[in-house]
A and B are shown apart, each in its own frame.
Chain A
Amino acid sequence: MLALLFLALIAFLAYDWTAGRLGGAKLRIKIVYAVLLLAAGYHLLIVTRTITAASYYDLSMRIFGGIAERIVAYLDPKGGT
């Protein structure tokens, strides 16, 4: 799986650098490209269990989880989950 992931990443980067002309792109694009890859790298560390940390969905759980639970509990005719 990791090999396939890295192959995908290298293929993306190679294509974007050559055909996509990322090398000559605006600084803004390069910075955001790097930020997205960093965010992806952070999640990769979680996937490979190198770190135990909150992911994108964990953040959504923290923001919406409590309210969603209360809504669903209210709507459940059996009185809650």
Chain B
Amino acid sequence: MKNTITPTQIAVLLFVFLTGSAIINIPAPLIAVSDNEAWICLLAAAAIGMLLLVPLVSLARRFPDMDFIEYGAQLTSRPVAVVLGVLLLTLHLHIVAGIIMDISLFLKSSMMRNTSYAYFTILTSLAVALTARVGIGRFAGMFGLLMLSVMLFVVFNISLASPGFHLPYLLPILDQGVKPIWHGIYYIYGFPYGELAVFCMILPYVRTRAKDRTGSKMALAVALNAASLLAVTLATVLTFGPIAGERKYSMFEVARTVYITEIFERLEALMGYSMIVASFMKATIALFSAHLTLNSLLRLPRDNRQLIFPLAFLTMLISLIVGIRGEAYWSFIVSSIHPLWVFACGTVPLLVVYAASLVRRRAA
């Protein structure tokens, strides 16, 4: 198959997808709901993410050249697979629109306050659509380097901010019982771990050989992601303490605290770059997966790319509407509705098909 990727590239894409916008966005809202137990929630949600890899990879291994809808139709029936595929598509559209809106909100609130968010939304959507259109074989190679630069800047930021860390800020723990932990797990399961279900459409592109360990590499990607998010969350708590949950775009805010002589200051520009690039990459992967889902639902060739632009145009307009409805509306969608949406339209379809595969295997 043309336009294939290697197991290492799929693991890199998974790391990019999971870490993408989460590395800048996750700490503040997670700390807001779970206080100093945020790191416990992260570890628990990462474990759930690891468990989700089991059905994802085992189905891909059992049906190597088929995507979720194709093997779903074999294991259940075509109508059931179409329904599950439509649910998955709704999630894809939401993820793309949400990430693009997130980039716009970040730019408007933190860097260019007098510019309408619409310009950021439209231009970002254009970039995402054009990149998705060139195909996964091309952008998978590029994203590895871009993500490396993002991670280097994040590590650089945390290192330079470390003199301002206060270890007592890690306490107290469990002062409000276990509900904050469950709340934190609910939130972070939705963003980003539950979202890895979208990879059920991308895995057919992986060119496997006999001893390729796609599953192990993807598990490593999830583990590295968990370590990264843990590091940024702890850095946020150690820097801001009780007000950590109020500092939106945490790594950006942590970077603003860095001042070492007159050489290392205004590092928030690096975090701005990291946020935009990482989110752009995640949006591209999600849009690409969305168009694969649509192609599969319509029984079109997998390499058909004619529907990418109208999909991108639709998600662009969905994003623009969020700006009209307001930030409180968006905040409720992201923090409360999104995890439920991911569960209902991402995790459940995957588990249904996996359960069907187990039943079929037992019957055979």
- Where the two chains meet, the residues of A that have a C-beta atom closer than 8 Å to any C-beta of B are 1, 4-5, 8-9, 12-13, 15-16, 20-22, 25-26, 28-29, 32-33, 36-37, 39-40, 43-44, 46-47, 49, 55-58, 60-61, 64-65, 67-69, 71-72, 75-77
A19 to chain B, nearest CB (A): 10
Chain B's nearest CB lies how many Å from the CB of A11?
A: 8
Main secondary structure on chain B at its contact with chain A? helix
Q: Which of B70-78, B147-155, B301-309 forms contacts with chain A?
A: B301-309
Q: Provide the residues of chain A in CB contact with B340, threshold 8 Å.
A: 64, 67-68, 71
- Residue B317 at the chain A interface, CB threshold 8 Å: yes
**Number of contacting residues on B, CB 8 A?**
50
Chain A min CB distance to B66 (Å): 20
Counting chain B CB atoms within 10 Å of each CB, the highest count among A37, A46, A68 belongs to A68
Whether A76 contacts B183 by the Cβ 8 Å rule is yes
Beyond A37-B313, A77-B180, 14 additional contacts (C-beta under 8 Å) are A8-B126, A12-B129, A13-B309, A32-B307, A36-B311, A40-B316, A40-B317, A56-B318, A57-B97, A61-B337, A75-B179, A75-B186, A76-B183, A77-B177
Is there a chain A Cβ closer than 8 Å to B160's Cβ? no
Number of residue pairs A-B, CB distance < 8 angstroms: 130
Determine whether the beta carbon of A57 is less than 8 Å from that of B322.
yes
Q: Are A57 and B305 in contact (CB under 8 A)?
A: no
Q: A12-B313, A26-B300, A33-B307 are in contact. Are A68 and B337 (CB under 8 A)?
A: yes
> Do A40 and B314 contact each other (CB < 8 Å), given the known contacts A47-B324, A60-B337?
yes
Contact B119 A57 (CB under 8 A): no
Q: Known: A33-B307, A68-B336. Contact between A75 and B183, CB under 8 A? A: yes
Specify which of A33, A39, A67, A72 lies most central, judged by the most chain B CB atoms within 10 Å of its CB. A72
Q: Main SS of the interface on chain A? A: helix
